[in-house]
Structure 1
Amino acid sequence: MGTGIPQTMLFRLLDSMGLPSETTLHDIRWGSEYEGTFYWDFEISGSVPFEHIKGGIAAAQGHRQPSMYFPLGGSSIAGQCKAGKFVWARAHYEGEQVIMHVGTGSAFELPQPEFMRRLEATTREWPLMNCVLDGVSKNDLMAGHQSNHITVAYVPEEQLDNVVTAFVAQALTQNMKVFLAK
């Protein structure tokens, strides 16, 4: 499941607040250190809002989907995700209970050689976000969930706390169990 519930909830919340409401699903692929900081590498199979790509639609690149994943073809959108603050969320079921994990993070535009090193180590036809998550360790992020999917929505930094508070309240009113990383 991973992102269906949080993606829909975040879109509606951001839209109601008059904020950019583009959300996307990413796979938590892997990560590594660069100059003393651990950066996660989030990637998804070519479906990303142009607003999440550095340079927007003009910088997006189209590629044939890798046949290993998509034997019948199709196009993907690739590129480096832009820098900025974001809210992230993941959801899964435990029995009939929806468990929601929510947090914040920052996406970074790493220098081109480092970005390319990471891109070449994964599926280069897909968009790549290099990011740092607030308040959650690598082990806790991966051990506390049943999916590698994560929803991301860029949020203006001055609105980030308001969005997180409203999002958590929205989940709690829907009787979801919420874990907040901040």
Structure 2
Amino acid sequence: MDPEILVKRAQLGDKEAFVELIKSLESSLYKVSKAILLSDSECLDAVQETILIAYKNIQQVREPKYFKTWITRILINECNKLRKTQTKIVMMDRYLEPATSEQREVFVDLQTAIDGLEPDLRTVITLYYYEDLSVKEIGAILDIAAGTVKSRLNRARAKLNSLLEGHQFEGRVLHE
């Protein structure tokens, strides 16, 4: 069902519509939290708290088409709260597993490199490449200028490029 219709129904008190809406965003919420926190248990805590906040405050969504942006911003705030109190980082099992062992190795190398980025760079990379959000949308979610988003993306790409120098991805060498 159309997410905008689900948001409107949820705002009218339809609990099933809210559940369906959250299920459609489950993977996205997890990936974003993973980009910030890395620890599986903390990611799940952040997502759970985000869902509770969203449920209690869904009336605040003025434009249903921006629900994903709205809930992602809540999630990032919750992740940042958890990160501030974080005492250790626990690496979790990889979320996606490619089909072949060679693809799996490349994926693990790429994900390890992404996990090694500073949180602000890791967040923009995840939102841009995994969540397919625009620079403008990322800026709105993180409450930063589009130029800052572009700068962070460029810094993240440069760091990833140097970390993954010589690796091949889909037939292309990342850096020669």
- For this structure pair, what is the TM-score category when the shorter chain's length is used for normalisation? under 0.3
Bigger RCO of structures 1 and 2 (CA < 8 A, at least 6 apart): 1
Query: Which of the two has greater helix per residue?
Result: 2
TM-score (norm 2): 0.26
TM-score (norm 1): 0.26
